[in-house]
A and B are shown apart, each in its own frame.
Chain A
Amino acid sequence: EPEVTQTPSHQVTQMGQEVILRCVPISNHLYFYWYRQILGQKVEFLVSFYNNEISEKSEIFDDQFSVERPDGSNFTLKIRSTKLEDSAMYFCASTRATNEKLFFGSGTQLSVL
């Protein structure tokens, strides 16, 4: 079965630093998402992306966050100035159509020190 690939699997950074989390969605998919999961908590929606623009974003997705699909294959999440509370597992997901299943990547564990 096709896979969503996320890199790196673990990222450690200092508070205030910028991080970029990378995702390669499944090739024929059109809709892209970022979710996060703080340890012990539920999976939370961050942002959805379609047709090269943000479709929807949550309250969590403030000005410190941005997404980009720079080259037609990668889908990135940038956190401009990380905070301790940004420590979480970040999941990328993609789907071909809105009534089809979302495929999730295996996640990037971000630790902000």
Chain B
Amino acid sequence: DAKTTQPTSMDCAEGRAANLPCNHSTISGNEYVYWYRQIHSQGPQYIIHGLKNNETNEMASLIITEDRKSSTLILPHATLRDTAVYYCIVRVALHGAQKLVFGQGTRLTINP
């Protein structure tokens, strides 16, 4: 699986949009970009994923550059409950139980 690079930590004011970048310059054509988060010591929680088109769901938006070498997760109106470690993961969707490989992620702190 391709390696990802994320900032170690970020801060954002409550109510503002949080934009979390991720570099995945060695991504292959058949690799998806996934975002998960981990609030305190809870189990990782799925946020969103995409292949090459931008995606939006009730939690967030995912913007993938045209060359697919980087992406940005956008939390449009951050709340205090969005304080968590956010993981950007690239993963091949082949037949079989393809694992997720977690890096260190970005520790996002939402400030009142």
Contact = CB atoms under 8 A, between A and B. Distances in A.
A101 B97 contact: no
B102 A56 contact: no
Contacts of B102: 35, 42-45
A24 to B, nearest CB: 14
Contacts of A99: 32, 93
B96 interface: yes
Nearest to B104: A42
B44 interface: yes
- Of the four ranges (under 10, 10 to 19, 20 to 34, 35 or more), the interface on chain A belongs to 20 to 34
A107 B102 CA distance: 16
Contact of A102 (B41, B46, B93): B46
A106 B97 CA distance: 21
A55 B93 contact: no
A41 to B, nearest CB: 9
Chain A contact residues, majority secondary structure = strand
Contacts of B105: 42
B6 to A, nearest CB: 12
Interface in A65-110: 89, 91, 93, 98-99, 101-107, 109
Nearest to B45: A104
A87 to B, nearest CB: 13
24 contacts: A4-B43, A33-B97, A33-B99, A35-B102, A37-B41, A42-B102, A42-B103, A42-B104, A43-B38, A43-B102, A44-B102, A45-B101, A48-B97, A48-B98, A48-B99, A49-B97, A55-B97, A98-B93, A98-B97, A99-B32, A101-B34, A103-B46, A106-B42, A107-B43
Interface of A: 4, 31-33, 35, 37, 42-45, 48-50, 55-56, 89, 91, 93, 98-99, 101-107, 109
- For the complex of A and B, the 3 pairs showing the least CB-CB separation, nearest first, are A104-B43, A99-B93, A48-B97
